[in-house]
Structure formats: structure tokens, C-alpha cells
Amino acid sequence: MLLVRGRAGGTALTGTIYERGERSPEFSGAPDDDAPYVWVCDAFYEVESGGTEQTVGEETINIAFESPMPRGFETRDAALEAAEGHVRTQFVRLGVDRDSVEIEVIETTPDGEGGDWEDPT
């Protein structure tokens, strides 16, 4: 299992790549079990009212979440590339410069052991 975390503006977003042999979440829209790599992460965008307040940089904004859109990939490299792009895009949607997003990839196990993973909540 790989955690792909982006940090920018004083906040972070972490998604998960499930690797071959690991059980990815099962829900409506989840990719076929045949995909060797599955990326799952929240998606969000800024809204004028409602949603959840989030501080990004020195500004407090309202964000709304979309349903996670899991995607299946044939290779680890393709999954990592898509994951990094997805995380950067979420920050761009909030007005953060794409190049200022720091990406970190953390290898861990489904039970959280074997890496330096910390619960982002």
C-alpha cells in the first residue's frame, strides 16, 4: 500500500494506492478487482457557501467534497503518476500553485505498519 500525500498552504491531502494482492475498498463505482493498482482519494472544490471550512495559507475557504473516484491501473508507475496529478489538481482547485505542492510517497501495509504513516486526521 502506498500513501500519496500532498502538502501546501498549511494543509495536506492523502490518498491511497492499493497494490497487487491488497484488498481495495468496495463501493459503487470502484474499479474491477482485476486492476493490479487502485488509486482512491477525495476530490473537492471551493464553494461560495456551505461545505466545510478549510484554511489554506492565510485564507479560510469553504470546500465541498465529491465522491471518491477510484481508478485502476496496470502499472505502479502509472498509478503514481495519476495519484500525484490528482493531488496537485485538488490544490489547484483551491487556488494553490501546482508547483508549490510537495508530494510525498509513503510505503506502508494495510494495518499501518511498516512505514512512517501517520493518521492525517
Grid coordinates representing 9 are 498552504
The mean per-residue pLDDT over the stretch 8-17 comes to 94
**pLDDT reading at 110 higher than 80:** no
Q: What is the pLDDT of residue 29?
A: 61
Kindly report the average pLDDT of the chain as a whole number: 86
What DSSP element (H or E) covers 88? helix 76-92
**pLDDT reading at 111 higher than 90:** no
Grid coordinates representing 73 are 491501473
Q: What is the pLDDT of residue 121?
A: 38
> Phi and psi at residue 28, in whole multiples of 5°?
-55, 130
- Taking only the tens place, the pLDDT of each residue in 43-93 is 999 999 999 999 998 999 999 998 887 889 999 999 999 999 999 999 999
**First vs last C-alpha separation in the chain:** 19
Residue 60: C-alpha distances to residues 11, 20, 91, 93 (Å): 11, 39, 14, 14
Q: What is the pLDDT of residue 112?
A: 61
